[in-house]
Amino acid sequence: MSKKVGILTGGGDCPGLNPAIRAVVRTLSSKGYEVFGFKKGWHGPIANETMTLDMANIDKLLITGGTCLGSSRTNPYNQEGGVEAIKKTFKDQNLHALVAIGGEDTMGVAHKLSSQENLPIVGIPKTIDNDLDATDMTLGFQTAVQIACDAIDRLKTTAESHDRVMVVEIMGRHAGWLTAYAGLAGGADCVITPEFPMEIDEVCKYVQSTESRGKNYAIIAVAEGAKILNKGQEITSQSEHAVDSFGHVQLGGIGDLLKNLLKEKTGRDVRSTNLGHIQRGGTPTAMDRVLSTSLGLECANNILKENWGMMSAFKDGKIQSVTLADGVGRLKTLSEEFYSRCQAFFG
Ligand code: F6P
């Protein structure tokens, strides 16, 4: 009887999930394993909701965004009987292994189930936020950077035509990687992230200094979770926003807030654009396809070797495996070193 392997994708989707699924399925099925999907993140193994993966069309996954398995932010530790239900599914399905593809929340659950319940689980790191520790890059990040950079390029041409200041709000939750990479690639005149709070007067100063060097427009890249201060006091508040089952607030709106403040304080014509979920849509870039495929192959290898509790990673220039514990040990926030490269172009 062939060994059964289930795959799930949890949390916010991103381009690269499907290529990773394809790599796992292609490798394991060629070795005689039976690979199938669990629907909608941790909901799948809780409810024992599965789906077959269409082998005739599996290669199409390489170029498709989103996830063919569906996703959700279901947290089994936040649901009565959730963990017991997953253990039952492992038994009922006679599951040899489970592949969890996700970010800090999904990996956190994978780590707990693996270390506390001794379930045979391996992980693949994904998120446009790039905030998982023990991997230099998560799948989905590079595509999101490209999308945000393309958007900044487009905002620039219209900003120049109208002598405008353009504020662009970029995702990333509590990490500023996406904003900093897109800001550096797009030539932003100021980059504001959660890790490096900024006084509103300092933002105004950068807008004014673009003017004084003869530039008629300015681009301000602001992370959705950024902190803007007025004489040391935070003037952004997310407290009224909804909270998901992992306790994360739904962010968004700081771009508009900043636009109004800049208008009032500089007298300039200011507009704001919130890139939102566009950053998570569409096909993965070539480099993201390569990364996702490589992480998927590494994961299949972990299953062949029965290396449970491991997460595929891209670290120090090579694809390798780290423990799930290392992957979720700490939130990887934007480094001072990278931020200083953005700062070199402020104002
Ligand atoms: O974690 C990925 C992410 O896109 C964050 O950057 C963002 O804050 C969040 O998910 C948005 O979540 P949702 O799709 O539930 O609105």
Q: pLDDT tens digit string along 104-136?
A: 999 999 999 999 999 999 999 999 999 999 999
**Alpha carbon distance 46, 237 (integer Å):** 35
Give the pLDDT confidence score for residue 324 in this predicted structure. 98
Whole-number Å distance, alpha carbon 13 to ligand 1 midpoint, is: 8
Residue 239: pLDDT above 60? Answer: no
The set of protein residues with a Cβ atom below 6 angstroms from ligand 1 is 12, 103, 127-129, 171-173, 224, 250-251, 280
**Alpha carbon distance 105, 86 (integer Å):** 16
Residue 24: pLDDT above 80? Answer: yes
343 pLDDT band, cuts 50/70/90, is very high
Mean pLDDT of 175-187: 98
b/e for 88-114, b at 16 or more Cβ within 10 A?
ebbeebebbbbbbbbbbbbbbbbbbbb
CA atoms within 13 A on the CB side of 102: 31
Provide the 10 A C-beta neighbour count for residue 229.
16
Q: Where are the domains positioned within the chain? A: 4-140+284-327, 145-279
| Locus of tokens 């992480």 | 295
Give the pLDDT confidence score for residue 243 in this predicted structure. 87
192 contacts 223 by C-beta, under 8 angstroms: yes
71 pLDDT band, cuts 50/70/90, is very high
Give the pLDDT confidence score for residue 288 in this predicted structure. 98
Q: What is the pLDDT of residues 299-336, one digit of tens each?
A: 999 999 999 999 999 999 999 999 999 999 999 999 99
Residue 237: pLDDT above 90? Answer: no
φ/ψ (deg, to 5) at 230: -125, 105
Active site residues: 129
Task: Tell me what the pLDDT averaged over the chain comes to.
Answer: 96
159 pLDDT band, cuts 50/70/90, is very high
Nearest residue to 290 via CA among 319, 320, 327, 324: 319
Provide the 10 A C-beta neighbour count for residue 338.
16
Q: Which of 101, 169, 280 to mutate to test the pocket of ligand 1 (most atoms within 8 A of CB)?
A: 280
CATH architecture assignment, domain 145-279: 3-Layer(aba) Sandwich (3.40)
Residue nearest atom 3 in ligand 1 by C-alpha distance:
12
Residue 189: pLDDT above 70? Answer: yes
Whole-number Å distance, alpha carbon 213 to ligand 1 midpoint, is: 37
Residue nearest atom 8 in ligand 1 by C-alpha distance:
173
Mean pLDDT of 207-236: 95
238 pLDDT band, cuts 50/70/90, is low
Give the pLDDT confidence score for residue 235 in this predicted structure. 86
For the CA of 73, the closest atom of ligand 1 is 15
Provide the 10 A C-beta neighbour count for residue 120.
17
Q: What is the DSSP letter of 25?
A: H
Mean pLDDT of 10-30: 98
Give the pLDDT confidence score for residue 1 in this predicted structure. 86
Give the pLDDT confidence score for residue 182 in this predicted structure. 98
60 contacts 44 by C-beta, under 8 angstroms: no
Same fold, 4-140+284-327 and 145-279: yes
Domain 4-140+284-327 has CATH 3.40.50.450: yes
Q: Which of 126, 173, 279 to mutate to test the pocket of ligand 1 (most atoms within 8 A of CB)?
A: 173
Give the percent of the chain with pLDDT over 90. Answer: 95
Residue 297: pLDDT above 90? Answer: yes
**Alpha carbon distance 155, 97 (integer Å):** 46
Give the pLDDT confidence score for residue 88 in this predicted structure. 98
Residue 242: pLDDT above 90? Answer: no
